[in-house]
Homo-oligomer: A and B are copies of this chain.
Amino acid sequence: MTEMTYREAVCKALADELRADPDVVFFGEDVAEAGGVFKVTPGLYEEFGPERVRDTPISEQAITGAALGAAITGLRPVAELMFADFVPVAMDQIVNQIAKYRYMSGGQFVVPLTIRSAQGGGNGFGTQHSQCAESWLMTAPGIMVVVPATPTDAYGLLRGAIRENNPVYVLEHKGLYNLKEDVPDSTGPMELGKALVRREGSDVTIVATQLMLHRSLEAAEKLAEEGIEVEVIDLRSMVPLDKDTILDSIAKTNRLVVVEESPHSAGWGGDIASLAADEGVYWLDAPVKRVNMGEALIAYSPPLEDGALPNVERIIHAVREVMA
């Protein structure tokens, strides 16, 4: 066991992969000499040098496009787009190029690249620096999307993503960088596409990720006090999606609440709800509730930002609704 923060886990995963494979390179804005704006990547430049760890100009389209070109010619690049809010700045390269490149060529290319971004709200960064990017990325078959919620997953999923021979977008949550945990020394590259039941329960299933997962676990503890046993599923990977773990849980609890840190419209929770309404419909004893930002955007003002993000109270309220 080694205690480390989510932030340190990300850095260690990068270091271990850079060490393990000379084809791995890492670049982004201020990730090298400065060690990243979130201080996630210090020391990599010093250990692996300017060829393999590079700072870039402010050019998200060139960064992602270069990652693609490098990936199809023999490197295994890891690119950073500082904030997930910048995904739209490079959206064409991500959804029209990276995700489609292998397909359009009839399978001529393998595209082993990883892109990392910090996402999520709760830190007062305002409307353009607090968003989550899952729903944007999931619209494009061809790119995998993982969302670690713990230091152990931040380490293992990132290593798994770098080793994956398909494009993977790793979304790290700003609000979790300081989260500490004992990471088993045996932890290695993890397989993508497996959800985890973080808490067992018989009454209601909650599906969540990252910051919302931790709030859901907190809500579950409170609800346990009133005798409501909530099963909490951490998706960990949005693409591939682990349908079985979700359906097995619904079969057991007959109730589903999805907690998303994003607006309601075209949010990923719709896919989870539609899975339940299709393959799980005969198990459902109650409405499927989605707890999300509704039609709100994240504003700077503390009470507004707090009001926009699903919190423990709102999660508890939704669970009570489906138990009613």
Contacts and interface: CB of A to CB of B under 8 A. Distances in A.
Given A96-B88, A295-B141, A281 B284 contact: yes
A138 B96 contact: no
Question: Among A88, A276, A297, A299, which residue has the most Cβ atoms of chain B within 10 A?
Answer: A88
Interface in A261-318: 262-271, 273-274, 276-279, 281-282, 284, 286-290, 295-297, 299
Given A127-B100, A136-B139, A139-B136, A274 B286 contact: no
A279 B287 contact: yes
A126 interface: yes
Interface string A221-235: 000000000000000
A136 B138 contact: no
Contact of A142 (B279, B284, B297): B297
Chain copies in the assembly?
2
A308 to B, nearest CB: 11
Given A278-B288, A278-B290, A103 B141 contact: no
A171 interface: no
Contacts of A270: 266, 268-271, 273-274
A91 B133 CA distance: 13
Interface of A: 85-89, 91-92, 94-96, 100, 103-104, 126-128, 134-136, 138-142, 239, 241, 262-271, 273-274, 276-279, 281-282, 284, 286-290, 295-297, 299
Given A88-B91, A139-B267, A266-B268, 13 more contacts: A85-B96, A87-B91, A91-B91, A95-B136, A103-B297, A135-B135, A136-B139, A139-B266, A265-B271, A270-B271, A274-B274, A278-B288, A278-B289
12 contacts: A88-B91, A91-B92, A104-B126, A104-B127, A135-B135, A138-B265, A141-B265, A264-B271, A266-B270, A268-B270, A269-B270, A274-B290
